[in-house]
Amino acid sequence: MTRLSVNLNKIALLRNSRSLGIPSVITAARIALEAGAHGITVHPRPDARHIRSSDVHELAKLLQAWPAAEFNIEGNPFEPPLLELAHAVRPQQCTLVPDAPGALTSDHGWDLARDGGRLQAAVAELKVLGTRVSLFMDPLPATMAAAAKLGADRVELYTEPYARNFGTVQQAAVLAQYAAAARSAQGAGLGVNAGHDLNRDNLPAFLAAVPGVAEVSIGHALIADALELGLAATVRDYIRVMGGR
């Protein structure tokens, strides 16, 4: 079964809009884990506009009580604070994302021809820590072998193009491209994750068409759904539509 990692960036963004410390990132993580989430994802950016370094340390401590759950830290390894935090808390997974410091959100995968040399060093540094490394990639089958050569363990397929085409005449063709990218990654020895703009509506079709997706990380849509359903009920419903219980 595909595992669900709950991204808490939007909880932190709301908290940071006031000085009251609410809503609590730690409380949200606990609720999600108690509801059955398989992991927690955060993306601490250089400007700390949502997740802060202190959140990462507190979440690492919380997750000690859930040894089967996974802590996934996303970020650009060429910008602080990703590598510093990885050394400090040794997460189970780091997802390396080519975000510019001021990017609103992740909106493209790595250009390995341009960045591969620098990435290889970062991948090696993280793997010495015992951390699994996933590279955020566009669904281009021809690039997956190069990702494997850098030492990555997985790729995370950037799914916004699929979400944008969900429910249109282009859906089947776009899904076929993702399926081909997943098969290419797996053929190169890589695991496959996915994330960005996935939701309860488009997730079942994606998982049915794309083979062997190990994990999805979902934040924006999940937190939006939680405003209506409650966080625990939302996590349970995402797991249900993913084929779990």
Residue bearing tokens 């830290």:
73
Residue 43 among the catalytic residues: yes
Which of the residues 38, 50, 156, 196 is marked catalytic? 196
- Residue 72's beta-bridge partner residues? 41, 93
Q: How far apart are the first and last CA of the chain?
A: 11
Tokens of 23: 């809503």
DSSP state letter for 143: G
Residue 79 among the catalytic residues: no
Question: Is-contact 45 13, C-beta < 8 A?
Answer: no
Tokens of 148: 């494997």
Which of the residues 38, 70, 74, 156 is marked catalytic? 74
| CB proximity list for 229: less than 8 A, separation 6 or greater | 237
Which of the residues 43, 50, 70, 215 is marked catalytic? 43
Tokens of 191: 């695991």
- Active-site annotation, residues: 43, 74, 196
